[in-house]
Every structure is written in C-alpha cells, then in structure tokens.
Amino acid sequence: MDGKRVRSSVDLELQGGSKPELQKRSTSTILTPGMMIFTCFMFLPLMVLLLGANRNPSFEWLLGVEITAGKAGSKYGSSASFSEPPNDKLLGGLLSAGFDEASCLSRYQSALYRKQSNHTPSPYLVSRLRRYEALHRRCGPNTELYQKAIEQLKSNRSTEPTECNYVVWVPSDGLGNRIITIVSAFLYAVLTDKVLLVDLSDDLRDLFCEPFPGTSWILPSDFPVNNLESLFLNAPLRFRDVLGKKLDATDGSLPSYLYLHLTHDQRFSDHMFFCEEAQPLLQRTPWLLLRSNQYFVPALFRASQYEKELSLLFPMKSVVFHHLGRYLLHPANPVWGYITRYYDAYLGNAKEMVGLQIRIFEAAPISSDQMIAQILNCSIHEGLLPEINLTEPAQPITQRTQPKAVLLTTLYSGYFEKLRNMYYQYATTTGEAIAVYQPSHEEQQHTEKQNHNKKALMEMYLLSCSGALITSGYSTFGYVAQALGGLRPWILLRPDKGSSSCLRATSMEPCFHSPQGYQCIAERSSSNEAVGHVRECEDVPGGLKLVD
C-alpha cells in the first residue's frame, strides 16, 4: 500500500464505500490488523528499491534547498503512550456522565487517543457547565418555555421579561472559523445566562454529537426568522442600527431580536457589542442572532462586566478553548469511525507523532519548494525531525522498526510526495525511520460539501493527537487542532511577513484576527488583571490572544 492508497482509502470511505465497524484499540502485544497494515506499508520502500522501480527519482529541488539545521533530536519529548487508558474519561469533570455512551463514542473515547491533559478545569467551571446544562434542558427546543419565547419572537416586539433568552449561532466561512466561533458564542452564552442554539446547515449536519444531556442545541427548522445566513445583507434589526435609541420593553419598543455582525469586516458600531454601555440592551433582548468568523474570546476578557466571572472560570487564561472545545465538540459516530480507523491503521504504532498542517493563502503565495524548505528549516532546527544524509540511501525497515510518524494535512498532494520520497530515499543522520501520511488531498476548499467537512474534522482531531505540532500562521484549522490537543505549536509564518522559519506559540489559544476598533476596551484602566493576559498574536500583527 503506497501513500496514494492511504489517501484514497479514506476518500472512498467518505464517499460511501465500505465502512468497517469501529474497533477498540488493542493494548496487547498481538499483531493487530492495523499493525499488519502499517508493517506492509513500511516494507514498501524496500520492495520498490529491490525491484528497481523509481530507481533514480529527481531530487534536484532538495539539493538546492538551504537548510539552517541545528542539532537533530527531540526537544519536545515523545508522544504520550496510549497503551494505558486514562483513569478519568470525564476529563476532570468537564463532561457530564449523563449520556448513553454508544450514541456518541467519541465523547468518552477521545481520551484514549490524546495525551492526558496537564490542565485541570476549575471546580467553578465544572459547576457552571452543570448549571448551564440545567438551563438548556429547561429552555431548549421543544420545551414550553422555548415555545413561549418563539411566540414573542413572532410578535416582533419584546413586551415583558422572558425567563429564557437565546444566542443563535449563524455559520460563516470554513469549518475552522465555524468551530472557533461556536466556542466563542458558547462562552458568551454562559457569561450572560443565555441558551446557545446553532443553525446547522446541511454541510454541518451529522458532524458533531449533541453536547448537552437530555436536550438539543440544534435550532429547529421552523425558526421564524428566515434566511439566517443572508441576514448580514438586509437584517431589519441590526444591533448597530438599534444601539443608542431609547428602547423600553414596557411600551413595546424593545425589539424581539437583534442581529450581531462580528466578522472581520464589521464596523465600529458592531464592535460596540463588547462595550459596557451596550450590555443593558443586549441583556434585555430575548434573541441575539450572532454571525462571526472570529475567535472573539480575548475581547470578552478585556470587558469589565465579565472580569470577575472569567477569573473564576479560568484561573489560567490560556486554556479557554482547550476546556470548552473538549466539552462541546465531539465527532459523531461515523466521523469518529474514520478517525479511529485511520489512527489505528497508520499512526498507532509510531514512536512519536509530529503533526504538520499546511495552509497556503492567496494573499501570500509561496512555491512548494519554498514551503518545503521552510518546513525543514523549522522541523530540523527545532529537533522535531532529523536531517537526511543525501549521500546515504535509507536503511531497510525491519519488522521491529518503530518509526516516527509525520501526519501531514493540507489540500494539496505535492508536499506529501516530496516529504515521503525524501525520507524513504535517504538515510537520516539519527538513524530514525520516518513515515509520512496524508489522509486526504481535496486540492480546493469546499466548505459547502458535507464530505469535505467530515475530512477536515477528521484531520483536525488526528492532528490534536500529535506529540508536537507545526501549523501555518493565520489558519483557524491549525488553531482548532492545537487547542484541542493542548499543544503550543511551532508556527510557520507567512512569506509576506519576511520569515523562512517558524516561531513557537506563546499559548495554545487561537488568535482573534480582527480586534480593531475597540476604543471602549482600549481606554480601560490597566487595573483589570485579565488585560495583562491578552497579547498580540505571533502570526497576526494586531491580533489578540490569551496567554499566561
């Protein structure tokens, strides 16, 4: 089985091919089917050399690469051993025990595939999550209180205080953007005692399990506000247009909903969402329809009205997404099957696993050779991967060889071919065997297609199982993987920023790309302790992220 077969097997399965049953990972020393497949895969390069196929591949591109290599060797430690399951499948109390495990296998099995987190959720966060779950059961879809709130929404006016208030998440952009905004919207809902409902279009359905026991977070299809995804074009009740008007629920002038446009291109009046003077209006409005493509959590930490609550929820500031993402985002059983089958077949026997995520932006084009050079500069200099010896062929792979695995995720196939051939053709200076894998290569982003999103979610989760991670700057795809895995990645900076190597991230938190315009926050006193934990991002000039 060659690299192309590795990719195509996943592609075929996602397109309706054979789907083997999910198997539990074996911890015995018996040769499992996944190990047999892995062994066959690793013997292939030796067979190719012996048979004379592809005897003289062209590596002129490699000979011309200038690598600023340091001493090879692992600086980050080996991957966690997955032979012994963790004792706490509830992740320190993050997860509720009130679920049927078979309905969502990933909820309690994810801990078997990732290293155990060093970050324990605060007791206050655990208690607030249980309190939120009770609120969602009381106010969620198909409850009496939900129907009452819907009737008020249909009336177009809020005439009395409501027991249940809602944040409706509206999708925007790619899967990475959607995931980071779901987490942002959920934190806002917890802080304001609102109920989060998500508008899952066809391309997002069947990707995630329900996160809250005994209820649903999916916005019902008969929601009375139509065409949510196009609200930004013609929303009649847009927050920025209503802000500043004298509104009173007693005379019916308070709107039944407000549309919040918190994307990268919002105006200053949209940014007022985070300002203290806007909070009474937002708190009194029963329905907030929120569209965003930004991880706006850092802005919440700079808002005085949430300061005390956030300090109790997160004594450590750089673990917000790590905790909330693992709480909310559980791949549905079909996606979890793809994740575990791929891991067990190709990655489970690796000595160490290095995740490599490549994203190329139209605004910052770079040739594949330049990108490979940047990857090698980073991975070799930081001791993540060994150098190669261009004068010595690769050593035969024996049955006892335990390779270091490189999991590559990118839309394109060319990077995989070059990295795989390099490590299969030439010996490494450390004597290590390097195996390179790429689950899929879509060539173009197709967020509107469900199968495309399933592959993307699978790859994010596989990357989060890495012992070390290299990501592309600006990429929300990489942000999700690093935060779920509790990893501080090495960031490949964009070529338009003038770097040919990488920087180590200061925290695992995603970057808030477009925080411009928050005058009400920028002018705040430095007495807010949380403000000191909001710093500029390494990969996005002017962006904000949480650090400790």
Six-digit token pair at 128? Answer: 């607030």
Distances (CA, A) of 61 to 53, 368, 369, 373, 493: 20, 10, 7, 10, 22
Taken as a whole, the chain contains a residue count of 548
Cross-strand partners of 437? 407
- Sign of torsion, CA 188 116 104 125? negative
Tracing tokens 């160490």 back to the chain, one arrives at 352
69: how many CB neighbours lie within 10 A of its CB?
17
Interstrand relation of 490-492 and 468-472 (parallel, antiparallel or unpaired): parallel
Look up residue 377 and give its two tokens.
């500069």
Condensed to tens digits (0 to 9), the pLDDT of residues 469-514 reads: 999 999 999 999 999 999 999 999 877 665 667 899 999 999 999 8
* Tens-binned pLDDT, residue by residue, of the chain (548 aa): 444 334 434 444 444 444 333 333 333 344 444 544 444 444 444 443 333 333 333 333 333 444 443 333 444 433 333 333 455 789 999 999 989 999 999 999 998 998 888 899 999 999 999 999 999 999 999 999 999 999 988 877 665 668 899 999 999 888 999 999 999 999 999 999 999 999 987 767 889 999 999 999 999 999 998 777 666 656 666 676 676 565 544 445 677 888 888 887 766 567 778 888 888 888 888 999 999 999 999 999 988 889 999 999 999 999 999 999 999 999 999 999 999 999 999 999 899 999 999 988 766 677 888 889 899 999 999 999 999 988 888 877 666 668 899 999 998 888 889 999 999 899 999 988 999 999 976 545 556 677 878 999 999 999 999 999 999 999 999 999 999 999 999 999 877 665 667 899 999 999 999 886 555 654 454 445 656 789 999 999 889 999 99
For residue 169, the cross-strand partners are: 198, 290
Orientation of helix 333-342 relative to helix 450-464, angle to 10°: 50
- Amino acid letter for position 140: G
**pTM over the 0.85 mark:** no
Domain residues of the chain, as ranges? 3-23+32-77+331-504, 140-315
Helices marked H in 140-288 — which ranges?
A: 144-154, 175-192, 231-234, 239-242, 268-271, 279-284
pLDDT single digits (tens) 105-134:
999 999 899 888 889 999 999 999 999 999
Q: How far apart are CA 324 and CA 330, in angstroms?
A: 11
Q: What backbone phi and psi angles, to 5 degrees, belong to 180? A: -65, -30
What span, in angstroms and rounded, lies between the C-alpha atoms of 196 and 202? Answer: 19
Provide the token pair at 313. 């929820």
User: How far is the C-alpha of 512 from the C-alpha of 479, rounded, in Å?
Assistant: 11
Task: Quote the pLDDT of residue 59.
Answer: 33
Question: Looking at the DSSP assignment, which residues form a beta bridge with residue 354?
Answer: 406, 468
Instruction: Identify the CA nearest to 150 among candidates 92, 104, 219.
Output: 219
CA proximity to 512, closest of 198, 54, 187, 44? 187
Token digits of residue 11: 């592609």
CA distance linking residue 320 with residue 323, whole number of Å: 6
The H or E element that residue 390 is part of is strand 388-393
The amino acid occupying position 44 is: L
